[in-house]
Amino acid sequence: MQWTTQPRAYGASADVDLSTTHVSRRPHGELLGASDKMREVRELIGRVADTDVTVLVRGESGTGKELVARGIHAASPRRDRTFVKVNCAALPAELLESELFGFERGAFTGAIQQKPGKFEFAHHGTMFLDEISEMGGALQAKLLQVLQDGEFARLGGRQDVRVDVRVVAATNRDLESAVAEGQFREDLYFRLNVVCITLPPLRQRRDEIPALTEYFLHRYSEHYNKPAPALATDTLRLFAEYEWPGNVRELENLVKRMLILGTDAPIRRDLANAIAGRTMPVGPIPALQTIEPAPLAVAPAMAVAAPAAPVFITGSLKDIARHAAREAERELIFRTLQQTRWNRREAAEILGISYKALLYKIKEAELDKAS
């Protein structure tokens, strides 16, 4: 694999050939990659863009699902209309419903005037529903009605509102399993999955890492007005060996960090530790220093009189998995807040969620500086 660290003029021409270039400025924005899989993605975008068909975009976090949605909108007849994005995981169900569908005056305490929802703002445009798998059952039924009939009622409303909206949904979860477990409506799944575009993870596109690195170096060198540092051979080798759990977004953040620091030495150290399994992956927390896991408290050998009694955990496997996921999320949020000195906006950006979503999760997890 040949690496180059001299930036090329990516996107210098607005009419570059989509089949050969690493970056296409039109119509797919910054949807990067020249592999067969990424060419298939761009080809699918071109085929579905001029229709009103509902599209389901699938892929791990950080693979570029929003870029696909924006590419579909930009290449569609709706390109001059509004593109509206809603993250279904960012708000609790009751707030998400009012966000999507709006409410009438007096619908609930504090509703002092009518408020249109996002679907009304997206009229004649495109609605991007990110993390659609996190939408609750009642809202799923209401969304299904919009997709089938183009109608919905605001909260507290007596009349239906008609809209013409093209819907693109995205998920990083296995929707088939969610349907089988009763967490996602089967009829909504089939209604969303008319055309499915699946983005490959970065670990399946390793040959593209050199070009992606070069592109981000050039882009953020101009953005931050800083010279691009020369990448050591060891850094490039680690880039090729690392699993990239945060995918392209993680690579982009590492390049930003490298430019701000003016050296790739901390990146090289953290990647080596992550590959060796000594630390957590560097992607979720692109910190200025490696975060080592807290050591386990081990009692002296002489103090151990007998093995501890076994702890029995009750509940279904699903409940146990949900509890473990909540604890892992709480730990990650807490570590990120510590690393950013409790700068919530910076922490939200690092975690890849909205500021409102982070505030909600902090409150839900009962996190504060004292904890």
Do 214 and 4 contact (CB within 8 A), yes or no? yes
3-state secondary structure (DSSP) of residue 113: coil
Domains and CATH numbers, the chain: 36-200 (3.40.50.300), 203-275 (1.10.8.60), 318-371 (1.10.10.60)
pLDDT tens digit sequence for 12-61: 333 323 232 233 334 445 677 788 889 999 999 999 999 999 999 999 99
Q: Is 302 left (phi over 0), alpha (psi -120 to 50) or beta?
A: alpha
Residue where the block lists tokens 């850094």 = 235
Listed range (24-38, 142-156, 186-200, 302-316) with the worst mean pLDDT: 302-316
Residue 370 banded pLDDT, cuts 50, 70, 90: low
Q: Write down the pLDDT at residue 302.
A: 37
Tokens coding 317 = 């496997």
Q: What letter does residue 153 receive in the DSSP assignment?
A: E
Residue where the block lists tokens 């797919």 = 28
User: Omega into 27 within 30° of 0, i.e. cis?
Assistant: yes
Do 247 and 205 contact (CB within 8 A), yes or no? no
Choose among 230, 238, 351: nearest CA to 287.
351
d(CA 213, CA 254) in angstroms, rounded, equals 9
d(CA 102, CA 157) in angstroms, rounded, equals 9
Report which of residues 108 and 137 the model is more confident about.
Answer: 137
Residue 294 banded pLDDT, cuts 50, 70, 90: very low
pLDDT tens digit sequence for 193-240: 999 999 999 999 999 999 999 999 999 999 989 888 888 888 889 999
Q: Which of 17-26, 50-59, 98-107, 350-359 has the highest mean pLDDT?
A: 50-59
Residue 277 banded pLDDT, cuts 50, 70, 90: confident
Q: Which residues contact 344 (CB under 8 A, 6 or more apart)?
A: 337, 355, 358, 359, 362
> Considering Cα of 81, then 94, then 140, then 320, what sign does the dihedral take?
positive
Residue 325 banded pLDDT, cuts 50, 70, 90: confident
Q: Write down the pLDDT at residue 95.
A: 87
Q: Is 294 left (phi over 0), alpha (psi -120 to 50) or beta?
A: beta
In single-letter form, the type of residue at position 231 comes to: L
> CA neighbours within 13 Å on the CB side: how many for 288?
8
267-271: long-range contacts (C-beta < 8 A, 24 or more apart)?
267/235, 268/232, 268/234, 268/235, 268/238, 271/235, 271/238, 271/239, 271/242
Listed range (37-51, 59-73, 307-321) with the worst mean pLDDT: 307-321
Give the bridge partners for 128, in sequence order. Answer: 85, 168
Q: Write down the pLDDT at residue 154.
A: 85
Do 69 and 128 contact (CB within 8 A), yes or no? yes
